[in-house]
Amino acid sequence: MFRPTLRSSLNLIRSAAPFAHRHLTTEARAAIQNAITSRPLVLFMKGTPQLPECGFSRAVVQVLDLHGVPPEKMQTFNVLSDPELRTGIKEFSEWPTIPQIYVKGEFVGGCDILLGMHQSGELEKLLIESDIIPEELPEEPTPSQSL
């Protein structure tokens, strides 16, 4: 899913992650697995889409809004309301920061990855291929344009 350069960067970041592993319980791991597959797009963020409590979470919500992700295709979890989820999701994904975005149960990345994908056009392609947003049909020429 990631470009080769992003993949190698991810591995480097993950191996250098300075947080300790708590070793998630089987129940906690199952609960997170169920959460990330609850909708086509799942966002773990600080705050809510209506009231983000961090600039990175706000940026992710704005990018998803720009792409027209419908609410029924997206599930969000406020990690500030659940300290166990806040630490557990970091261990589950092996990614040290929030927000975290999952598409079709697969970890995509955090704010920086999402912004890069948005700028390169990869995010729109992923959202279309994952049937989260519709592919826009090209405008049909008007009679005056076809002459």
- pTM over 0.85, yes/no: no
pLDDT on residue 1? 45
> Angle at the Cα of 127 (from 86 to 123), degrees rounded to 5?
80
Residue with tokens 């975005």: 101
Query: How far is 56 from 61, CA to CA, in rounded Å?
Result: 9
Domain 25-132 matching CATH 3.40.30.10: the answer reads yes
β-pairing, 74-78 with 100-103? Answer: unpaired
- For the stretch 104-141, pLDDT in tens is 999 999 999 999 999 999 999 999 999 999 987 556 66
Query: How far is 147 from 144, CA to CA, in rounded Å?
Result: 6
- Phi and psi at 82, nearest 5°, equal -145, 95
What does pLDDT average to in each consecutive run of 10 residues of the chain (147 residues)?
50 50 82 95 97 97 96 96 93 96 97 97 96 77 59
